[in-house]
Amino acid sequence: MKEKLKNLPTSPGVYLMKDSHGEIMYVGKAKNLNRRVRSYFQNSKSHSQKIKKMVSSIRDFDYLLTDTEFEAFLLECHYIQELKPIFNKQMKSPESYTYILILIDENGEPTGLKTTYQRNEQDGNIYFGPYSSKSAVDKAIQGLKEFYKIDCKNYSKRKSPCINFSLGLCLGVCLGGLYLKEYQARLKKIITLINGSDSSILEDLQQKMMAAAEHYHFEAAAKYKEYGEAIRYLINKEKVIDFAFENRLFVVVEYLNDEAFKLFLIKANTVLFSAMYRIQDNIDQLVESIKQSILTTLKNSQQTNVKVLKSDEVDQAQIIYRYVTSKQCKSISIGDNEKLEDKFIHKLLSPHE
């Protein structure tokens, strides 16, 4: 294993740590395999107990090279989902994925806010998610209920105030009447918040946090900060899901060096095609080659639109969303074959534009 460590390449890739039985117990990705893998066996004092325990069990490792860090992320995600290594932080049980459920009555009015592990497309309710962090979702819902004063403990038995009404955490929906209309209006505000069309609550929470800190109420300030971070998590995750649902086609280019680049054709949360190209003097010939590869892929691929993002697709969708919207690469969105014009590919291949 010492010899393997010495000869590790500095390329991006995925590494698979094995125990004495040859079982894969951890999968990781790296921009630089040599630096990342060797770090497990150096500076052990700074390692967490989990890492120390894992390193003490390592008897061998394998690695797979990729051209880009993006591909390493995707490959790591694939192996974690397939192998479910015991030491992986990202190893998740099905119940680790959570949905936010807004209950809708027969009149189309919202009546409740809760979490669930299942999504039912036929029940007429509104779902957001799936989210991979249940703790963040729980914290966000707690903050929303407290902020909007809709944490009613006696909703089903109206005309009798619940204990939270006296604590100022329930606006009085348990009393029915006009309170119910206001309760429904606030639930609608939460819907617009999560779908990204109204994030004014974040500004309100920021002001509450600053006011609490100015009056030395540091515990309250910390609470408002946590609520804000959890709500931002919901909004950002919803952007990822919306991105996948748009089912847009992207042509993406990442330069590897001055002589080569990697091209990807991406739809929603799937990479349909990828290839490395060498930069050449005859740019028109290169553009035509790329164009034909893309058109052939589109013609031969069995493309299906994303209608519901399944829990095991969330991580891959997140990786693709971050990559396409990052500064590491250049991308263009193509709605159909007619939009795949030479000038767009020329622009992608110009590293200075």
- The first and second tokens of residue 201, run together, are 């609550």
- Fill in the DSSP letter of residue 330: E
pLDDT of 353 over the 60 cut: no
CATH of region 249-348? 3.30.420
- Mean pLDDT of the 330-347 span: 72
Q: What mean pLDDT do residues 258-283 have?
A: 90
Distance of CA 121 to the CA centre of its chain: 22
* Least confident window among 17-31, 52-66, 146-160, 278-292: 146-160
* pLDDT for the residue numbered 339: 61
pLDDT band at 155 (very low <50, low <70, confident <90, very high): low
Model confidence at 143, pLDDT cuts 50, 70, 90, reads confident
pLDDT of 91 reads: 45
Domain 2-83 fold is: GIY-YIG endonuclease (3.40.1440)
Domain ranges of the chain: 2-83, 95-240, 249-348
CB 231 within 8 A of CB 192: no
Q: What is the mean pLDDT of the chain?
A: 85
Alpha helix ranges (H) inside the chain = 2-6, 33-39, 49-57, 69-83, 134-148, 163-166, 178-194, 200-214, 218-245, 283-300, 314-324, 342-348
- The answer on pLDDT for 337 being more than 70 is no
pLDDT over 90 (residue 248): no
Task: Please write the tens of the pLDDT for every residue from 21-39.
Answer: 999 999 999 999 999 999 9
| Angle (deg, nearest 10), helices 134-148 and 218-245 | 120
Mean pLDDT of 171-182: 79
Give pLDDT, residue 352. 54
pLDDT score, position 274:
95
Predicted pLDDT at 272: 92
CB 103 within 8 A of CB 124: no
pLDDT score of 265 more than 80: yes
Residue 94, pLDDT > 50, answer no
Q: What band does 157 get if pLDDT is binned at 50, 70 and 90?
A: low
Q: What is the pLDDT of residue 165?
A: 82
2-83 against 249-348: fold identical: no
Looking at residue 126, its pLDDT comes to 93
Asked if pLDDT for residue 137 goes beyond 70, the answer is yes
What pLDDT does residue 302 have? 73
pLDDT of residue 89: 63
Choice among 44-48, 236-240, 284-288 with the minimum mean pLDDT: 44-48
Mean pLDDT calculated for residue range 118-130: 87
- C-alpha angle with apex 224: 153 to 151, nearest 5 degrees? 10
- Judge whether 135 and 143 are in contact, CB under 8 Å: no
Please, are residues 309 and 245 in contact by the beta-carbon 8 Å criterion? yes
Task: Report the share of the chain in percent with pLDDT over 70.
Answer: 93
Mean pLDDT for the stretch of residues 143-153: 85
